[in-house]
Amino acid sequence: MNKINSKDFKKLFQVDRELIIIFLLVVITGFIFFFVANQRAFLNFFYLPVLLGAYFFGKRYATLAAFLSIILIFTMAYIYPSSFKFPMDTEINRWLDLLTWGGFLLVTGYAMGLLYEMKEEANREIEKTYQGVVEMLALIIDSVDSQTQSHSYRVSVISGQIARQMGCTSGEIENIRIAALLHDLGKIGVSGELLHKVGNLSGSERAKIKAHPQTAVNVIQPLGSKVLDILPLILSHHEKWDGSGYHSQIGDTIPLGARIIAIADVYDALISDRSYRKALSPFQAKKEIMDNVNKHFDPDVATAFNNIFDSIKDIDRFIFPLQANIYQSR
């Protein structure tokens, strides 16, 4: 006899939580049913677990809820012949009414569940399109500046890990990750000559650089829908904890996602070679960030960054020797 695999053994005892929820809804409705005087009219309340099953779980569970309800009612009608019967009713009429009710319940459950699944499929297609647009924009961003290849991708990965460390929800992590992918989209409108300028920037040149978050928002905003949730994160990713950032937002008024992206962005910028300075090593870059806690960076976000540092210090790059001790992030 073959030994039962531990995974197969666990499968034998796996609980279908959705089915239990549906079963409990039917049982609760059936329990209330016993305390209702006009039981025939109360039959319509069994549409409730069927519709809930359709809305949350799809046609399979909606149909199962309908079957469970029908079995419960037909069993009750068989055991208690006087139930569901008006004074002038015949036995045939009573069973015909129950059969009609049961048929409508099954059809309703299946149809509503099918509509739910069609809606979910449409949402998945929209999500695929959304992800495709995001990835395309991210590729465009990194192709514009040859010095920052894959910068947006690395900032996205680091931001996601910091957000997870801070206990953000899966939806918040996804928004932060996507905002990080697109945070430099506005630099598409900035000339390569300006982006790679070695000397100090003039007032007008710095203004053009500082406009890139708003430019990114202007490009993305017409897409509408869920992309609107990430706009504040992109707009505020150059804000600083002490209020000395691009738009003078301060402390907790800066969206958490933007505070997370700010650290990830600066960290990856510091460990990358730029035309105006050489790269720092990951440990030196971390020191620069920790030295600027409570000035440029949120202390809680910095703590989370420090906690995940070992997992991201070698992200997709080599460790470069220190050739300049300048903290400069444009």
Contact 204, 211 (CB under 8 A): no
pLDDT of residue 30: 65
List, as one string, the DSSP characters of 263-275: HHHHHHHHTS-BT
Q: Tell me: the pLDDT tens digits for 174-225?
A: 999 989 988 888 777 666 666 666 667 777 777 777 777 887 888 777 776 6
CA distance 102 to 329: 68
Tokens of 93: 């009429």
Contact 187, 195 (CB under 8 A): yes
CA distance 298 to 255: 11
> How many CB atoms are located within 10 Å of the residue 242 CB?
14
pLDDT of 147 above 60: no
pLDDT of 15 above 60: no
Nearest C-alpha neighbor of 207 from the set 222, 225, 189, 234 = 189
More reliable by pLDDT, 111 or 133 = 111
Burial (CB count <10 Å: 0-12, 13-18, 19+), residue 86: exposed
pLDDT of residue 76: 78
Tokens of 1: 């006899």
Q: Tell me: the pLDDT tens digits for 246-302?
A: 888 999 999 999 999 999 999 998 988 776 678 888 899 999 999 999 999 999 999
Q: Where are the domains of the chain?
A: 13-122, 149-312
Q: What is the CATH number assigned to the segment(s) 149-312?
A: 1.10.3210.10
Mean pLDDT of 145-173: 85
**pLDDT band per the 50, 70, 90 thresholds, residue 9:** very low
CA distance 42 to 272: 70
Average pLDDT, the chain: 77
Q: What is the pTM of this model?
A: 0.62
Query: Hunting for tokens 């001790």 — which residue is that?
Result: 325
Largest CA distance in the chain: 98
